[in-house]
Structure 1
Amino acid sequence: MQKTNRNGRTERRDAAENRQRILDAANQLFAQYGVEPVSMNQIAAEAGIGAGTLYRRYRNKGELCMDLIKDSKLLLFNTIEEYMKTNAAQAPALRLRGLLAIFISFKENHAQLLAGIEGATSLSEARSMSSSPFYMELHELLVRLFDEMAADNEQSQPDSVFRTDMLMAALSSKSYLFQRNVRGRSPDLILDQLCRIYI
């Protein structure tokens, strides 16, 4: 028997069951130990499958984390889209602050999985990560808001793409978790400081 997966493709029943076992095992181990310390072999053992079966579905832990966060990512962009529609009449700087608040809340709820996704990306994969739909959609929204801000401001503004690149670097899991865990800054304070710098 076949079942349709989240990508709209059909998968065999045993493959679908293996996938669910993998996701359940990863969720349980990540909740218990955190994402970074857990190995793919541990996940395979917990799921009761061979490592080869796991690696055929997920090349690395980052891909597994991406699958775990998929539904939340869709909800994030639906929330952002609704926010942007509802606040279309607001100044671009206010909309940018609101968008950042939504993203930081998402970051707080999924910090370990996002770090797992980013941690699995090598320097040689950085270009492909920046062309992922998740990155591109957020990048496009921010560039658009920075362009609107520049149009509203008669003074010379930094290039919107560069400005967005730097803001997204500041929002990377590594930078964000450093501010949270080492500097001890709250999400509200991080949001405030980012707005002071970029808005």
Structure 2
Amino acid sequence: MNNSKITQIRSERRDAAENRQRILNAAIELFEQNGVEQVSMNQIATEAKVGPGTLYRRYRSKSELCLDLIKDNVDQLFNDIETYLEQNHFDPPSRRLKGILSLFIHFRERKAQLLMGVEESSSTNSLRARMQSPLFNELHQLLLELFEEMNVSEETHYNSVFRADILLWALSRDFYSFQRDARGHSPEMILEQLCSIFILRNSQNT
């Protein structure tokens, strides 16, 4: 590969990195001013001074853009969960489940606006699209494994996939925001109510 080709590739990479940073900076500023839901992709492109094509080549949806903005925070969340599970691997699965729920609810409270954006579908904003996001897929797997453990340790026969689905729905933006804003429940109260539903009473005392 000749030097001019190498220079061109480096220039393209530099331009792409600069465009990405302009897009992210513009998105953060607009989100802080107006909220995630009120900001369109076209507004972000205009604020970042890039063409819509440039924006959509990097981010197919506002959901993907928001995920990039909080990627480091999401990585830290799962690092915290992994550390928690390693440090408490001798605890019963019901207690570990409560610990994971506590970590996620705390994360949702701190990153509410961006997480709301991540959960938006690129086109229909459907529940299926939100529940199949990478964030919720990874959480689903963790919950599924704990529910399977609970079935073994408590000699129950609940459908673990169904339970994980329902619990994730309860943690999704629509349900969680309704409980916080309309019902006036605190994060601590939501956590306790979820545990009372998904964890058997005798398990909560072990």
Give the Cα separation in 1 of the matches to 2:162 and 2:122: 21
Q: Aligned pairs, how many?
A: 192
User: Compared with structure 1, are the counterparts of its residues 181 and 129 closer, same or farther at alpha carbon in structure 2 (3 Å cutoff)?
Assistant: closer
Give the Cα separation in 1 of the matches to 2:44 and 2:134: 27
Give the Cα separation in 1 of the matches to 2:16 and 2:124: 32
**Structure 2 contact 62–122 (Cα < 8 Å) conserved:** no
Amino acid at match of 1:148: E
**Structure 1 contact 35–116 (Cα < 8 Å) conserved:** yes
Aligned structure 1 segments of 4 or more residues deviating by more than 6 angstroms: none
Q: What TM-score results when the alignment is normalised by the length of structure 1? A: 0.88
- Counterpart in the other structure of 1:187: 187
- Counterpart in the other structure of 1:7: none
- Counterpart in the other structure of 2:112: 111
**Structure 2 contact 60–122 (Cα < 8 Å) conserved:** no
The equivalences for 1:84-163 within 5 A come to 84-122=85-123, 130-154=131-155, 156-163=156-163
- Counterpart in the other structure of 2:3: none
For the pair shown, the structure with the greater C-alpha radius of gyration is 2
Give the Cα separation in 1 of the matches to 2:192 and 2:45: 42
Q: What TM-score results when the alignment is normalised by the length of structure 2? A: 0.85
Shift of 1:151: 1.2
- Counterpart in the other structure of 1:78: 79
- Encode CA deviations 1:146-195: one digit per residue, 9 max, x unaligned: 111111213x3421111111101111111111111111111111101100
Provide the identity percentage.
57
Give the Cα separation in 2 of the matches to 1:55 and 1:121: 11
Give the Cα separation in 2 of the matches to 1:122 and 1:164: 25
Q: CA RMSD in A?
A: 2.2
Q: Give the gaps of 5 or more residues in structure 1.
A: 4-10
The equivalences for 1:19-30 within 5 A come to 19-30=20-31
